[in-house]
């Protein structure tokens, strides 16, 4: 019986090595040109353009035109979530790269997952927010508590403006490196933006790494000690 959407086409597109490298690069939520993506994938510009045309036709990427240049992004957060989930399965089943990138430890520690913080520090924050009753899991969904609204406001995040956006306020996202969850959704995005605005961390160039300064990491770890999270939200 053939029920539901046909996943074979999407799976085949993502399964190609060059296209997989391009899509992974776009997980950093930065617009990249075909030339930049060709370099990342190790193919010619002409080959990259053919690959990108297929990804665009399948609705996996979107293209913006600025002057003579075309900039590519992932089509939406659903595509980003799919890619991150595939990374988790690959990591769990041992399908890892034969030669790791020098940035691999930094990616495992803190990286951007489309638009929110992932890695060891992302998981640390998420679990502290649950322990501090800032967030709670109910009926299979993640919810912001009244305590949580006060906590986010105390951290300088306008909760009302953030959650009014047309997307989930908060949701768990499985971290491929930690195999536990980090915080996604509008509040996850706002949290990362606030951390960067405070100067605790910044996005590394040409990478998904979120680079914390030593003082920034210390402040982050102090903030997300579960007892402190609970106390500061009262």
Query: Domains in the chain, ordered, with CATH?
Result: 8-75 (1.10.10.10), 104-232 (no CATH)
Other Cβ atoms less than 10 A from the Cβ of 18: the count is 17
Mean pLDDT of the chain: 86
Pick the more confident residue, 152 or 27. 152
Rg (the chain; Cα; Å): 19
- Predicted confidence (pLDDT) per residue in 168-181, tens digit: 899 888 887 788 89
Question: Which residues are paired to 210 by β-bridges?
Answer: 203
Count the alpha carbons within 13 Å of 100 in the hemisphere toward its beta carbon. 10
Q: What is the mean pLDDT of residues 14-26?
A: 91
Nearest to 124 by CA among 140, 108, 137: 108
Q: How far apart are CA 186 and CA 111, in angstroms?
A: 17
CA distances from 193 to 17, 49, 70, 75, 122 (A): 32, 32, 26, 21, 13
- What are 176-210's pLDDT values in tens digits? 778 889 999 999 999 999 999 999 999 887 778 99
């Amino acid at each position: 019986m053939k029920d539901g959407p046909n996943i074979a086409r999407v799976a085949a597109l993502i399964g190609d090595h060059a296209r997989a490298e391009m899509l992974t690069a776009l997980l950093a939520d930065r617009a990249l040109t075909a030339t930049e993506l060709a370099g990342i994938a190790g193919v010619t510009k002409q080959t990259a353009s053919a690959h990108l045309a297929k990804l665009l036709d399948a609705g996996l990427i979107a293209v913006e035109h600025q002057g003579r240049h075309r900039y590519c992004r992932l089509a939406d957060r659903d595509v980003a979530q799919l890619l991150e989930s595939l990374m988790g399965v690959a990591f769990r089943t041992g399908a890892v790269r034969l030669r790791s990138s020098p940035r691999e430890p930094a990616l495992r520690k803190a990286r951007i997952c489309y638009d929110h913080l992932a890695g060891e520090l992302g998981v640390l924050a998420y679990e502290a927010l649950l322990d501090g009753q800032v967030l709670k899991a109910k009926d299979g969904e993640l919810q912001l508590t009244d305590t949580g609204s006060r906590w986010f406001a105390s951290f300088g995040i306008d909760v009302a403006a953030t959650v009014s956006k047309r997307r989930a306020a908060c949701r768990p996202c499985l971290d491929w490196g930690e195999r536990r969850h980090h915080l996604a959704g509008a509040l996850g995005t706002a949290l990362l933006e606030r951390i960067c605005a405070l100067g605790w961390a910044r996005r590394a160039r040409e990478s998904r790494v979120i680079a914390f300064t030593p003082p920034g990491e210390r402040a982050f770890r102090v903030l997300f000690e579960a007892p402190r999270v609970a106390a500061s939200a009262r």
